[in-house]
Structure 1
Amino acid sequence: MQSIRAFFHSEGFIEVETPVRLRTPCMELHIDAEPSGDHYLRTSPELCHKKLLARGAEKIFEVAKCFRQGERGHLHNPEYTMLEWYRTGGDYMTALADTQNLLQAVRCAVPVALTGEWQIFSVEEVFEKFAGWNPVENFDADRFDFDLVEKIEPELPKDCPVVLKDYPAELCALARLKPGRPEVAERWELYLNGIEIANAYSELTDPIEQRARFEKWGAQRHSFGKPVYDLDEEFFQCLEKMPQACGVALGLDRLLMILVSAKSLDEVLPFRE
C-alpha cells in the first residue's frame, strides 16, 4: 500500500475519498449492489470519480472498499478493496502505460515474478485462435462467457502480464467505442498468473449514449428478476462537462494474492464472511 500510494503521488495524482453508501449505484447488468437501508453500498467509486473529473480534477486515485452482493469464492469476496484511478486527456492505452509503471513500482517494493515481457492480444485474435470464432463480428453473450473461461483463459501465458483489449461493443460497459470501428469498445483487461486483475476504458462521455446503455441494462435486469436501480441524474449532467479521460479499476486483494503466491483470497484476507 505504501508503494502504491508513493507511485501515484510521484505521478501527480491526488488521493480522494468518495461515498461508500449511494442512493443510485451504477447500473450494470451482472453486478448486484448490496442494500444498506434506503441506500446501497457502492460496487465501485466510478460514478463519483467522473463527477470529480467534470468539476475540474485531472488525475485522481482512491483505495476504495467496495461491495458486491452474492460474490463469494476463491477469487471473490462480497467486500473487497479496489484501487481505481482516472486521468483526463488520455485513452485506454494511456491507462495501460500507467498500469505497467505501477506494477513496476510495486515489484520493486515487493520482489515478485512480474518481470516477463507484457503480452497484448486483441479479443478477436485470441477467440479466433483458441475458440474458432470472432465475437466482434458475431457476438453471442453465453458463448463468449463460456469460451472465455473454458478455452481462452487457460491458454493465456502465466509467466508474464497479459492484456486482452478491444472488446465487442456489446461488452462496452462504460467505455467509449473505437473511432472508425463502432463494433469494438476501447476496453482492456489485465491478467497476472492467469487471474483477471484489472479492467480499463477510454471513458464514454456522451450522456445520451450512457443513459441508453443504463436503460437497456435496467430492462434486462428486470427480465432477470434483479433489482433495477434509479438512474443518477447528476452523473448524466456531469458527463456533459467531463473531458476525455481514461480509468482503471484494479483488485488489490487479488494483487496481494499474486504477490505472495497464494491460491485463494482465504490466504490473504484475515476477515472473510
Structure 2
Amino acid sequence: MSSPDPSPWWAPERHRDRRPFLMARAGITRAVRGWFEGQAFVEVETAALQVSPGNEAHLHAFESESIGPGGERRPLYLRTSPEFAAKKLLAAGEAQIFELARVWRNRERGPLHHPEFTLLEWYRTGAPYEQLMADCAALLRLAAETAGTERFDFRGLSVDPFAEPERITLAEAFDGFARIDLLASVGEGGETDAKALAAAAKAAGVRVAADDTWADVFSRVLVEKIEPRLGQGRATILCEYPTAEAALARPKPSDPRVAERFELYACGVELANCFGELTDPAEQRRRFEAEMAEKQRVYGERYPIDEDFLAALAQMPPASGAALGFDRLVMLAAGAQHIEQVLWAPVAKP
C-alpha cells in the first residue's frame, strides 16, 4: 500500500484530511500521560544519540558521528529504542518510569512502518511481567475511549478494545495454527535444533531453504501461519517466546526453554513487545554477541555493545518493561489506514 495521497503532507487540503487523525493523536497523548501519572509513574526524557542503537540482529540504525573539540571522532547512533537509557535510570534508583520516545529505524517504510516514530516505553521495578499485560489492556481501552470508538478496524479485521485480550503461548500457537511442536526443537538450556524445526515447518507447508537457521524458520512460520490469525475479535497476547527469540528477557522460572516475553496484537497488527527484564550482565553480553554475529552473517555489519549498559545492568533491580508502538495504537483508535495519516510531519521520501 502506498501513501494515501501523493501531495505533500503540508498541502492544506491533505492536512485537512489528516487533521481528525492528528487531533485524535493529541487527545490520546494527553490521556496516556494522565494514565501513567495516575499510576505514580515519572515521565523521563533520554538521549536520542547513543553509543549503541541496540543489539538485535534485524534492527537497522541511522549512524552519525561525534566530533570532539580536538577533532577526535567516534560513531554515534540514533536510538532504535530508549531501552538502554531507561534501564540505566532503573539502576540509578527510579522505580516506575515512562517515555514517549522518538526513535529511528532504517530500512523500514510502509503502511505500518516509518523511519522515525514514537515508542511508548514503561518500566515497573519489582513487578511481574503479567502486570504489563494488564497495562496493555488498559491502554487499549483508554485509546478507544479517548478517540470515541467502540471498535478497532484495520484491513478487514475488527477488535473490541474493551474485551479482555486472549492469552496464547508460542507453543500453543505453533501447534494450533501450524501443527508444529515448537518446543521439540528447543533444548532444556534454550539451545535450538534447526533441522528439527525445518522438517516440521516443511510438513506444515512452509517453504524452507537448505541454509535456513532455526530463527529463519521460526520467523517464517510466525509470519505466514500465526500473525495473520492474531488479534481478531479481541486483542491477543502472544507469550512465552523461546529464549533464543527474547534477547533481553529473563527465562521463565518454571521452564527455562522459554522467556518472559509477550507481544500484543490487534487486527493482526503487532502493537507492543514486553519483557520480564534480564538483569544478568554476563548472559546479556552472550546474547548480544550472538545477535551481532547473526547480523554480521546476514547483513555484513554489526553494532557496538554498550559497556556502560552492561555495567548498569549489574545494579538494576528486578523489573518488567514494555515498548508499545504509539503511532500504531493511534492508527487503530482513530480509524487510520496508513501510519503517515497520524504523523504531524512525516519524513520526506528519498
Same fold (TM over 0.5): yes
Provide the residue aligned with 1:9 in structure 2. Answer: 37
Indicate which of 78, 85, 99 corresponds to 2:136: 99
Identify the residue that residue 164 of structure 2 maps to in structure 1. Answer: 117
Counterpart pick for 2:177 among 127, 130, 134: 130
Question: Residue type of the partner of 2:319?
Answer: A
Q: Paired residue for 2:191?
A: none
1:43 aligns with 2:90: no
Residue 291 (structure 2) aligned to one of 207, 214, 217: 217
1:93-138 per-position Cα deviation (integer Å, ceiling 9, x unaligned): 1111222222223332222221223111111111101111122331
Percent of counterpart pairs with the same letter? 43
- Which residue number corresponds to residue 210 of structure 2? none
Spell out structure 1 runs of 4+ moving beyond 3 A.
none
CA contact (8 A) 1:91 1:201 kept: no
Could you say which structure has the larger radius of gyration? 2
Are residues 1:84 and 2:121 paired? Answer: yes
Cα distance in 1 between the residues matched to 2:334 and 2:99 = 23
1:240 is aligned, of 293, 314, 328, to 314
Alignment of 1:161-172 (within 5 A): 161-172=235-246
Does the Cα contact within 8 Å between 1:161 and 1:190 map onto a contact in 2?
Answer: yes
Letter of the 1:50 partner, please give it. K
Distance 1:17 1:117 in 2: 32
TM-score, normalising length: structure 2: 0.75
Q: How many residues align?
A: 273
d(CA) in 2 for partners of 1:87 and 1:226?
Answer: 36
Secondary structure of the 1:121 match is strand
Does residue 1:32 correspond to 2:60, yes or no? Answer: yes
Structure 1 pair 191–225 and aligned structure 2 pair: CA distance change class (3 A): closer
1:50 and 1:34 map into 2 onto residues whose CA distance is 22
Deviations 1:78-104 (Å, cap 9, x if unpaired)?
Answer: 111110000100122111122222222
Structure 1 stretches lacking a partner, 5+ long: none
AA at the equivalent of 1:134: D
Q: Is the 8 A contact 1:81 1:253 kept in 2?
A: yes
- Whole-angstrom distance in 2 between the partners of 1:148 and 1:224: 19
Q: Which runs of 5+ in 2 are unaligned?
A: 1-28, 66-74, 152-160, 186-196, 198-213
Tell me the distance in 2 between the aligned counterparts of 1:137 and 1:183: 10
Determine the C-alpha separation between the residues in 1 that align with 2:312 and 2:250: 16
RMSD, aligned CA: 1.4
Q: Does 1:57 align with 2:94?
A: yes
